[in-house]
Structure 1
């Protein structure tokens, strides 16, 4: 798939190479894992079958492995071998079917009762055409009444353009700096975490996202033939309102 990041040299494998070794440490509790598993189990039940479930951009298996342990039949897709190495290490029982590939062009055949793209992962597709293609690819693989669950942040309407340098963390032998650049006109942000350690020198961890509003995601879903079934502020089901900073949107493929 075409990469459109402005950061020179950045592609779909860059994030995994940069973050696989620290992802679970930095982001393991960034969302409620237990609530996510409960939500997916409940949603699969509404389709009338126990799985299978497709997770896109599954990374280290932070969600895929617990879903499998909860009894769901899980297929995990990720473009990063480094991330999938972490998943294999976590999934000692070999309960997750793993696909190394793009989360648009390399999705396995369905039908799936549910698909999940968690914690802003949809925004790793770096233009709206790629995001639209993802919705279409998932819709084509859902069973009738199957659901596509999208978890993402709600962009601020007045996000300022510009650059920022700040400290993410600091210890006596280590400091992590955050350098970022935001371009609201293209709905893009990118940056580097620069990790400096006393013994290991400098490590760069790049990232890039192209955000979309809930309304834009709804339009993509509609174009793909999906309908918005529910929207929450989090996986626990907190009601979504104008003050919500996150959303969990459940899109369903209608029968027929």
Structure 2
């Protein structure tokens, strides 16, 4: 199992990883598996954790993303491959008999929720699958203090929104580019504030513990582009 050594140093196997992968690996290995990854996308986080020695179940609501993650299996050793499972399912209604020490929602997965009911349903999924005293970790886009420059709203995924935006009105917009191959879509994330999200967490029986503005551990500030949270089950 990978993790920091007694002196806080990072093992060579993790050196050079993307900051988000390193962050999630450290969080998960500090607690231990099994790990549930909600919104596994193409498997970046799930496969990284499997390589770190953890048992992982990656779930995504996109069948295409699950297929992409499965395509990575052939490049892994039998030992690593045996530690990772992938499942296509709705993150709002997933109810397994298994419980997990760690639940992760990377890749702005919470930002896919389009209504209060959707958000509460996904957080109920988190709560249902967490073992007692388990850990929930996530990252989402954060509303900027200032609106984006004119002309950027249609071109930048996760473009900022004005702070006066009503509570819980975030949404995901999906549109197809005219020059894109058939079936390829761009996803438009609408971020929401840390206060909005933490209110929903508390209502769902989860206890927010730590907030960061970067995967390197910088304390969160309202102007940060990301809100990265560590939550007790």
Q: 4+ residue runs of structure 1 moved beyond 6 angstroms?
A: 165-168
Does the 8 A contact of 2:171 with 2:189 survive in 1? yes
| Post-superposition offset of 1:252 | 0.4
Which sits farther off after the overlay, 185-194 or 136-145?
A: 185-194
Would you say 1:100 and 2:100 are equivalent positions?
no
Partner of 1:79: 61
Partner of 1:122: 110
The aligned length equals 206
| Post-superposition offset of 1:159 | 3.8
Partner of 1:237: 217
Alignment of 1:1-256 (within 5 A): 32-42=20-30, 44=31, 50-92=32-74, 93=78, 94=81, 95-159=83-147, 184=165, 186-188=169-171, 190=173, 192=175, 194=177, 196=179, 204-253=184-233
SS in 1 for 2:64: helix
User: CA 1:38–1:84 in 2, change beyond 3 Å: closer, same or farther?
Assistant: same
| Post-superposition offset of 1:132 | 1.3
- State the alpha-carbon separation in 1 of the partners of residues 135 and 182 from structure 2: 43
Q: Compute the TM-score of the two structures, normalised by the length of structure 1.
A: 0.69
- Deviation per CA, 1:155-207, whole angstroms, max 9, x where unpaired? 125547x9757778xxxxxxxxx8x9x8955333535362638xxx7775242
User: CA 1:195–1:204 in 2, change beyond 3 Å: closer, same or farther?
Assistant: farther
Q: Any stretches of 5+ residues in structure 2 without a counterpart?
A: 1-16
Partner of 1:10: none
- Deviation per CA, 1:12-63, whole angstroms, max 9, x where unpaired? xxxxxxxxxxxxxxxxx98532333223222x2xxxxx31110001011011
Does the 8 A contact of 1:73 with 1:96 survive in 2? yes
Which sits farther off after the overlay, 65-74 or 107-116?
A: 107-116
- State the alpha-carbon separation in 1 of the partners of residues 87 and 98 from structure 2: 13
Partner of 2:8: none
Does the 8 A contact of 1:56 with 1:78 survive in 2? yes
Q: Any stretches of 5+ residues in structure 1 without a counterpart?
A: 1-28, 45-49, 169-177
User: CA 1:81–1:188 in 2, change beyond 3 Å: closer, same or farther?
Assistant: closer
